[in-house]
Copies of this chain bind each other. A is one copy, B any other.
Amino acid sequence: MQKKSQPSEPALLLIGIGPGDSRQMTLAARDALRSAGVVIGYELYVEMVQPLLSTTQEVIASPIGDEIDRAERAVELAASGTRVALISSGDAGIYAMAGPLFEVLRERGRQGRDEPRLVVYPGISALQAAAARLGAPIAHDFCAISLSDLLTPWEIIERRVEAAAYGDFVVAFYNPRSRQRDWQLDRALAILREHRPAETPVALVRNVTRTGESVHVTTLAAVEPAQTDMLTLVLVGNSQTYRLGDWMATPRGYSGIGRR
Residues of A within 8 A of B (CB): 18, 21-28, 30-31, 91-96, 98-103, 105-106, 110-114, 118, 120-125, 128-129, 131-133, 135-146, 150-153, 156, 159-160, 162-164, 166-169, 242, 244-247, 249-255, 257-258
Contacts and interface: CB of A to CB of B under 8 A. Distances in A.
Nearest to A139: B99
A151 B254 contact: yes
Contacts of A167: 143, 159-160, 162-164, 167
A111 B242 CA distance: 12
A100 B250 CA distance: 10
Nearest to A96: B139
B25 A27 contact: yes
A143 B142 CA distance: 6
3 nearest CB pairs, A to B: A112-B245, A151-B253, A163-B167
Contact of A144 (B102, B141, B251): B141
Given A26-B23, A27-B23, A113-B246, A169 B143 contact: yes
21 contacts: A25-B26, A93-B128, A94-B131, A95-B140, A96-B139, A98-B131, A99-B139, A99-B140, A99-B251, A101-B136, A102-B135, A102-B247, A102-B258, A106-B258, A122-B128, A122-B129, A124-B124, A156-B168, A163-B166, A163-B167, A166-B166
A75 B242 CA distance: 20
A51 to B, nearest CB: 13
